[in-house]
Amino acid sequence: MSRGQFPSTRMRRNRMQSFSRRLMAETNLTVDDLIWPMFVVEGQAIDEPIASMPGQYRHSIDRLVAKAGEAVGLSIPAIAIFPALDSSMKDADGTGALDGNNLICRAVRAVKDAYPDLGIICDVALDPFTDHGHDGVIRDGMVANDETIDILCQQAVLQADAGCDIIAPSDMMDGRVGAIRTALDHAGHQNVIIMSYAAKYASAFYGPFREAVKAGVSLGSTGKSSYQMDPANSDEAMHEIGLDLQEGADMVIIKPGMPYLDVLNRAKTEFGVPCIAYQVSGEYAMILAAAENGWIDQDRSMMESMAAFKRAGADAVITYFAPQIATILHSK
């Protein structure tokens, strides 16, 4: 066989030109895959930079509404809003979560009034409201599962009352999805979606987020290990996801994102339900830091990470890069 005849199968043929690469692409990212997380604080005309997350800010409600307008202009389908409260507004039991006029509820109402068709996602957990930073109330030195759930149910209903479209329980209490589903239904919110943080790991990648929301910074690397998942486990994640689906979850989140692509892929393969990847603050900060030092190309690495999430099975990605990604996609 002459060199000119070998090999007959040349995988490079389909890669040689832009049009053929586009035709053969197995994974496609669109603006419809993006969820943009945002932070809100009390006050007016505030855009407070977050040191560990360059390009991210804590916005007062008026500025948050303006950012929501940017999301609409970019055709991003949904935003996730996280409150950052002053320590004076927190207590041991997170009672501020049960105030229907608290920061997050006012923010949701303001955004909904301005942009009724924009999807709004709210976490259900007590850590933004507790002075100790845990996701639930502490009793005898431990987070009290069942008492916390009672509070979370009330919190979820108040957020739905304010106009939240998707309730996202991020607390990792056992049985909370079923209890919240029942509470929402009884309150007339049968159509409010539950996007459960079903596989939320006790990860080192949350540090910048905790600074952003001013919650849990002092807990250290093992502070939430009694309820968030062990990074070594994936079978356990499948069990968690299965339970949440049985209890009525409509979608599930795998968090963090990139370090847990195997978990994301297993979840999509085994359950076939809508799976959301969360590209968390530490992932964002690492890409930004390396790009700012000239070590990697920010846009290429950002888009490559999105392709990885989609390839692994993500139906959507929560990412702080959402506006940059949307801008790139619209330019194509």
Burial, 231: exposed, middle or buried (Cβ in 10 Å; 0-12, 13-18, 19+)? middle
> Are residues 80 and 107 in contact, defined by beta-carbon separation less than 8 angstroms?
no
* Residue 121: closest CA among 278, 284, 286, 288: 278
Enumerate the H helices of the chain as residue ranges. Answer: 18-24, 61-73, 103-114, 145-162, 176-186, 207-213, 235-247, 261-271, 281-292, 298-312, 322-331
Say if residue 240 carries a ligand binding annotation.
Answer: yes
* Residue 94: closest CA among 122, 123, 58, 135: 135
- Give the C-alpha separation, 273 to 276, whole Å: 10
b (16+ CB within 10 A) / e for 258-269? bebbebbbbbbe
The CATH class given to the 32-256 domain equals alpha beta
* Residue 37: closest CA among 166, 221, 199: 166
pLDDT of residue 1: 47
pLDDT of residue 3: 62
- Active-site residue, selected from the candidate residues 214, 255, 268, 310: 255
pLDDT of residue 55: 95
* Residue 86: closest CA among 38, 48, 142, 138: 48
Q: What is the pLDDT of residues 236-251, one digit of tens each?
A: 999 999 999 999 999 9
Question: Under 8 Å CB-to-CB from 36, ≥6 apart: which residues?
Answer: 71, 76, 78, 79, 80, 319, 320, 322, 323
DSSP 81-100: EEE---GGG-BTT-GGGG-T
pLDDT of residue 277: 98
- Active-site residue, selected from the candidate residues 67, 90, 200, 224: 200
* Residue 314: closest CA among 25, 30, 122: 30
Which run of H or of E encompasses 123?
A: strand 119-124
Instruction: Specify the amino acid at residue 144.
Output: A
| Spans of the chain below 70 pLDDT | 1-4, 216, 218, 220-222
Active-site annotation holds for 255: yes
Residue in this structure with the two tokens 């998707």, named with its chain if needed: 166
- Give the C-alpha separation, 194 to 197, whole Å: 9
Question: What is the C-alpha R_g of the chain?
Answer: 21
pTM: 0.94
